[in-house]
Amino acid sequence: MNFCPECGVQVDNWSAQELKWFYPLLIYFFLDFFVICIYKYSSLMEESLGNMLFADGIISTITLIFVVLYHSDLAPVFRLERLKIIPLARMLALLVAGAVAVNFLTNYISQLLYQEIYYYTLIFTDYPYPVFYSILFVCLQPAIFEELAFRGFLFTYVEKLSSPKTAILVTSLLFGIIHLDPIALIWLLPLGYIFGYFRYKYQSIWYGVIGHFVYNLVILIFEFKELYFS
């Protein structure tokens, strides 16, 4: 039924309510984008551990504010009982294989294009506990806060607005774009798709958080192997 038989008013007005909440999500995306750009590409912030902590702190705070704003819709995806061992193991096997392949691909591309390899963790080598900082900033922080954002509130609202398939595609696209590296889109889009698929299939954010952590950890292990043992 579309219209009330008594007064003629349309009763299931197209998803205008959901759309009203969609625009703040765009604000989230561009706030995130500006913080990353200011840290990475502007002269306002030099690349240092303190500035990285500051920039990541801002992004994490903005993400948490949005999680609180949308908490009532997000609560079900945090339930731990939705995390099943066998699907998680399958996903992790896929991600470890993907991370190994991406590691060789990125090294190959870097050698080919720049005649050198860029290491994300070089910045930490001048500080005490480089392993601790690397795990914190390369594995843990992105795994938690990127997943809260992209497979959390962004996924939830795009799914409400459209369909699960669209939510998987849109969030993987936004996840890829926010890394601000066009070449990296080649592996970030499939990665985002895998996290989105598990988020949809098991209605849980934990697959993404654990998978993202493990994926980044494998990349990190290869970096450390090449930096310290080669």
Partner 1 sequence: MQDLEQKYIPNSGATDTNCAHCFQSLTAADKYCRHCGFPQQGSNTEKRSFIDQVHLKKVDLTKAQHKVRNAAATLYVIAGFTALYGLIVGLGMQEDVSLMIGNIVIAILYLVLGLWSQEKPFIAILCGLILFITFILLNAFLEPDTLYKGVIVKLIIVVFLIKGVVSARQANRIISELPSEKKPVI
According to the binding rule CB under 8 A, does residue 20 interact with partner 1? Answer: no
Report the nearest approach of partner 1 to the CB of residue 2 (Å): 6
According to the binding rule CB under 8 A, does residue 29 interact with partner 1? Answer: yes
According to the binding rule CB under 8 A, does residue 1 interact with partner 1? Answer: yes
Query: With CB under 8 A as the contact rule, which of the stretches 6-14, 86-94, 115-123, 129-137 interacts with partner 1?
Result: 6-14
Which residue(s) pair with 10 in the sheet? 3
Report the nearest approach of partner 1 to the CB of residue 145 (Å): 19
The label of the residue with tokens 């592996």 reads 187
Cβ-based nearer residue to partner 1, 71 or 181:
181
According to the binding rule CB under 8 A, does residue 2 interact with partner 1? Answer: yes
According to the binding rule CB under 8 A, does residue 123 interact with partner 1? Answer: no
Please calculate the CA angle 201-205-211 and round it to the nearest 5 degrees.
Answer: 90
* Binding track over 125-164 against partner 1, x by CB under 8 A: ---------------------------------x--xx--
According to the binding rule CB under 8 A, does residue 62 interact with partner 1? Answer: no
| Stretch 177-216 residues interacting with partner 1 (CB under 8 A) | 177, 180-183, 185-186
Q: Which two tokens stand for residue 129?
A: 């506990």
- 158: nearest Cα among 23, 13, 14: 23
According to the binding rule CB under 8 A, does residue 6 interact with partner 1? Answer: yes
According to the binding rule CB under 8 A, does residue 113 interact with partner 1? Answer: yes
According to the binding rule CB under 8 A, does residue 5 interact with partner 1? Answer: yes
Query: With CB under 8 A as the contact rule, which of the stretches 59-67, 89-97, 105-113, 135-143 interacts with partner 1?
Result: 105-113
DSSP per-residue string spanning the chain: --B-TTT--BSS--SHHHHHHHHHHHHHHHHHHHHHHHHHHSTTS-S-HHHHHHHHHHHHHHHHHHHHHTHHHHGGGG-GGG--HHHHHHHHHHHHHHHHHHHHHHHHHHHHHHSS---GGGGGTTSS-HHHHHIIIIIIHHHHHHHIIIIIIIHHHHHHHS-HHHHHHHHHHHHHHTTT-TTTHHHHHHHHHHHHHHHHHH--SHHHHHHHHHHHHHHHHHHHHHHH--
Q: Which residues bind partner 1 (CB under 8 A)?
A: 1-10, 12-16, 19, 26, 29, 33, 37-38, 41-42, 109, 112-114, 158, 161-162, 166, 169-170, 173-174, 177, 180-183, 185-186
